[in-house]
Structure 1
Amino acid sequence: MLLNKITTTAALMLVSTLSFGQSTEIFTYPAAGQSQEQMERDRYECYRWAVSTTGTDPATLVSPASTTAPTIVENKNRGDAARGTIIGTVAGAIIGSTIESRGRYHRRHNNAAGGAVVGAAVGGIIGSSRERNGYQNAALEAKKIEIRQQREQSEYETKISNYTRAFSACMEGRSYTVK
């Protein structure tokens, strides 16, 4: 019995001081001369009714803004331009050195150098393209995260608004002025 009374008193205190978000606080005034005890009881009953009606308990609802970290998305293809250039250089040199130029030794080495230059250029172009695509994909992923966070914030605000309207309707129905 004593534990029940303590729990009820704690819940009444919680409901009496509930505030939501940044500046949304529900103020009630006993317009029909209700006592402080009656007002606390009515606030608690309206709190429970609003929670059951809306499915939202503002005492346990966590704002997405308070749990959201800055959106940083890494480019998974970062460095591909350099890797492409290196791989292209090596591949071009290998391919160039295998090309036979009328059996002359010095021309074989010229082919290797030429192949390395062509391979470096092609590898650099391909790598740069992959790296640029990686930046575009990272930007798209960051935008998706931002849209999801905005949707979660909007859903949170809707839940709080619905709860506030339900709570206010209940208190007004019990002859309180609610602001």
Structure 2
Amino acid sequence: MNTRLCVVSIALLCLAGPVVAQQYVYPAKGQSAEQQKQDEAECYTWAVGQTGFDPAKPPAQAAAAPAPAPAPAPSGGRVRGAAAAATVAAITDNDVGDAAVAGAVAGGAAQRGQRRQQQRASQQQATHQQQAAQQHTADQTAGFNKARAACLEGRGYTIK
């Protein structure tokens, strides 16, 4: 696993916790502390029922996608490059041995470039999926907070 992927994975794990906005509840109609505690508990339960989301039990974050398995030995690209170069050299009456070596080097380099490109695409997809999951959790939390606030306001509390 390369260093950049490790750093991104650690950063995402740190940010992956539930997004909980602090709500302040004021008993605008002189409710007692005991009454407020009971109302908050009931409104919490009601908000969970309305939204289907419980901030105390956020959905598990999907594990980071595993790194793609290393490709088999890069000989395939080298063999194809060597064969192509040798064919061209034979047609043009050049040194087939030198052309085959140059073709093998070029074929191996091309294959490594393709593998790096595939790894970058995999990493970008994993990052995008993680960000989408975090946004979904944030949206669910916001919906829950709105439902809880509506319940508490209906019972005579001011919410900020």
From the superposition, tell whether residues 39 and 26 of structure 1 become closer, same or farther in structure 2 (CA, over 3 Å): same
**Secondary structure at the residue paired with 1:25?**
coil
Which structure carries more relative contact order (alpha carbon 8 Å, separation 6+)? 2
Q: Which residue of 2 aligns with 1:80?
A: 74
What aligned pairs does 1:1-179 form with structure 2 within 5 A after superposition?
A: 21=19, 24-61=21-58, 64=61, 73=67, 76-77=70-71, 80=74, 84=78, 88=82, 114-179=95-160
Unpaired runs of 5+ residues, structure 1, are 1-19, 93-113
**1:115-146 per-position Cα deviation (integer Å, ceiling 9, x unaligned):** 44222211221221111111111111111111
Give the residue type in structure 1 aligned to 2:100.
G
Matched positions, count: 134
1:32 partner SS: coil
Point out the structure with max Rg over C-alpha.
1
Query: What's the Cα RMSD here?
Result: 3.2
| Counterpart for residue 103 of structure 1 | none
TM-score calculated relative to the size of structure 1? 0.62
4+ aligned runs moved over 3 Å, structure 1 = 71-79
Does the aligned pair in 1 maintain the 2:152–2:159 contact within 8 Å? yes
> Any conservation in 1 of the 2:82–2:107 contact (CA below 8 Å)?
no
CA contact (8 A) 2:74 2:112 kept: yes
Distance (whole Å) between structure 1 residues aligned to residue 103 and residue 111 of structure 2:
12
Distance 1:158 1:148 in 2: 15
Q: In structure 2, do the counterparts of structure 1 residues 136 and 75 end up closer, same or farther at CA, with 3 Å as the change threshold?
A: farther
Identity, % of aligned positions: 27
Structure 2 stretches of 5 or more lacking a match? 1-17, 87-94
Deviations 1:86-113 (A, max 9, x none): x949xx7xxxxxxxxxxxxxxxxxxxxx
Paired AA for residue 19 in structure 2 = G
Amino acid at match of 2:55: P
Q: Distance in 2 between matches of 1:50 and 1:26?
A: 14
For the residues of structure 2 that align with 1:25 and 1:163, how far apart are their CA atoms? Answer: 12
Decide whether the 8 Å contact of 1:26 with 1:178 is kept in 2.
yes
SS in 2 for 1:48: helix
The residue number in structure 1 matching 2:4 is none
**Cα distance, 1:174 vs. partner?**
0.4
Q: Check the 8 A contact 1:32/1:176 in 2, yes or no.
A: yes
